[in-house]
Structure 1
């Protein structure tokens, strides 16, 4: 992805924590439509060919959609989930081939006003627990300079600086072997989101809100359907 080198300079911290072989779920934060291209570039720089479970709408964006399609990424349509047959089969194929799978636990761009990670969905941990592979968290900051949140316009100049921090695999051992019910998946997802948030706090050198943004809760408040 040479064009990205012209648009941004990457500072990758703790790169030794990034697995150089074997299957794993790579779980970054998400606040720009160009995140898949940025994190794909990071994986490529670290010697791995990334495969993404990305929302289907990204594949309709000029340039981004082309790059995602040509690189063999996997669209998950709106209203779908990691429990759908095609995402599951795709994940199984990747694990069999010892490949990495990038899954954004938030499922979409964070809606937190200050772009902190919001409440996660269970797709990343579901794949990891069903396939018995690790989840490696990551955080990045600076991508908003290339493409602001909710924008579809890329800023080419001046060259941007993107900082990425790789984390240790999230300890999911206490969840393995348990029934993957909603409570188990929610608890495991919280552990992953805590790890991602801590990495972003380190990059930004500030603390995230004590309560993570919950889109469903805020939607209910806005429409008058919130129940305490």
Structure 2
């Protein structure tokens, strides 16, 4: 696969980050042939550890197509980290401001320039108890449908064994294996030439997330839950229980009664 111009800052970041990643993680990387050699595209990746953005960036750097991540705007403001984020062409996300759409426009512009934009569509570390992908946000689908670029579903596993979600201390020994599987492009053609409604974006996002989950099922050798974990629905249910605890108790008692009846 031909290497493209990467630039000083990305090469400098690689010099700093690759040696510790090589020491800490073994690598089982598959599907590099599905990363386009030319043209703009997006990758859609699951997120289960604070380490996995670095581990995944290592994988994609080695394909010769460096990713442009969407990251919190605060990381771009000060010091060495800010200079590195700007220098490597990462895309700032401004939450709850008049600039909130600028990340979407910047992602489209990057794809149209022939670059790769990497999306973590869950928006945060997965909260699924077994670390399966959650429901996704619609940004990746929106960019994909507007640009009609290839969408590469990527699953990763292993960085979470080095540093579990929300853990403060890594588990260094034995040495963990970072597994990555990049799949073929997701077919979104049935959504083209249609009005980009919230319903359409939601459906396209579900197709994309199903493809990512399928890659992770292959890595893990097991099936994911039929219904993805939905943090929004969980919060709604938690608020309902807090507001109406008597209804929650009645619901639990009724469920227990049904289970006892079935067992007899």
TM-score, normalisation: structure 2: 0.76
Pairing 1:74–2:98 present: no
Aligned partners of 1:29 and 1:66: how far apart in 2? 26
**Which of 165, 174, 177 is the matching residue for 2:190?**
174
4+ residue runs over 6 A deviation: 57-60, 62-66
**Which of 36, 57, 63 is the matching residue for 1:46?**
63
Question: Which secondary structure state, in structure 2, belongs to the residue aligned with residue 51 of structure 1?
Answer: strand
Bigger mean CA deviation after superposition, 145-154 or 47-56 = 145-154
**Which of 46, 53, 61 is the matching residue for 1:29?**
46
Bigger mean CA deviation after superposition, 113-122 or 62-71 = 62-71
| Matched residue, 2:165 | 149
CA gap of 1:124–1:33, structure 2 versus 1, over 3 A, is same
Pairing 1:100–2:116 present: yes
Pairing 1:132–2:148 present: yes
Aligned partners of 1:110 and 1:66: how far apart in 2? 29
CA RMSD of superposed structures (Å): 2.7
The C-alpha deviation readout for 1:141-172, integer Å capped at 9, x for no partner, is 00112322123555555532111001111100
The C-alpha deviation readout for 1:51-73, integer Å capped at 9, x for no partner, is 0113447779x998786455231
Aligned length: 224
Question: Which secondary structure state, in structure 2, belongs to the residue aligned with residue 136 of structure 1?
Answer: strand
The C-alpha deviation readout for 1:192-218, integer Å capped at 9, x for no partner, is 011011110110011111111111111
Aligned partners of 1:50 and 1:28: how far apart in 2? 11
Deviation at 1:79, TM superposition (A): 4.1
Aligned partners of 1:106 and 1:75: how far apart in 2? 17
| Matched residue, 1:115 | 131
Pairing 1:10–2:24 present: no
- Asked if the contact 1:140/1:162 (under 8 Å) is kept, the reply is yes
| Matched residue, 2:219 | 203
Aligned partners of 2:167 and 2:84: how far apart in 1? 18
Larger Rg: 2
**Which of 84, 87, 98 is the matching residue for 2:100?**
84
CA gap of 1:111–1:221, structure 2 versus 1, over 3 A, is same
Structure 2: which 5+ residue stretches go unaligned? 1-13, 245-264
Aligned partners of 1:72 and 1:47: how far apart in 2? 15
Question: Which secondary structure state, in structure 1, belongs to the residue aligned with residue 223 of structure 2?
Answer: coil
- Asked if the contact 2:154/2:183 (under 8 Å) is kept, the reply is yes
- Asked if the contact 2:42/2:111 (under 8 Å) is kept, the reply is no
Quick one: higher RCO (CA 8 Å, sep 6+), 1 or 2?
Answer: 1
TM-score, normalisation: structure 1: 0.87
- Asked if the contact 1:50/1:102 (under 8 Å) is kept, the reply is yes
Structure number having the greater helix percentage: 2
